Amino acid sequence: MTRDELKALIRDVPDFPKPGIMFRDVTTLIGHGRGFAAAVGHLADLAGSTEATSIAGIEARGFIFGASVAARLGLPFVPVRKPGKLPVPVLAMDYALEYGTDTLEVDPGAISSGERVVVIDDLIATGGTAHAAIKLLREAGAEVGHALFLVDLPDLGGADRLREAGVTVEALVDFPGH
């Protein structure tokens, strides 16, 4: 399937999570077998061209796409988790959200020093979560030079924020606005 065909499988949900926001819902793409397989294939092609040694996915939908890409490429998958989900001592990173803060965690034993990790998530908006994940993975010893997304909302500047941090950013589709 083409990227335009994939884009057509993403549902628009107006006024979610608050009035004035157009939510781009990828669950409709995930629920379309051929579309999901094509999206994973496109992301795997991009990740495969980076010389990655691991794929990291950000909880929660980044797990769906990241783990699928890792399996397709035969690479290890590193979950970047929300707090309290990993059963071992973790590295943690707090980061700012539009209204408050959140935390991401990673098992430092899941990453070898110098490992080339590609970060995958479903969508990039302001880039706060992805930027925190990249900083956290780098703190764990990873080299993170690429981040891949199904959807980019370029008007919110997240991809540019990651590029300023030295990361090559690619998305399969983009949507104007927020």
**Residues marked as catalytic:** 61, 98
Here the tokens at position 47 are: 């990740």
CA–CA distance from 24 to each of 17, 54, 67 (Å)?
11, 27, 21
Closest to 68 measured CA to CA, from 44, 51, 33, 34:
44
What does the DSSP 8-state code read for residue 20? T
Cα separation of 144 and 142, whole Å?
6
Task: Find the farthest-apart pair of alpha carbons in the chain and give their distance in angstroms, rounded.
Answer: 44
Here the tokens at position 136 are: 């956290």
DSSP per-residue letters across 60-123: THHHHHHHHHHHHHT--EEEEB-TT--SS--EEEEEEETTEEEEEEE-GGG--TT-EEEEEEEE
- Cα 31 from chain centre: 18
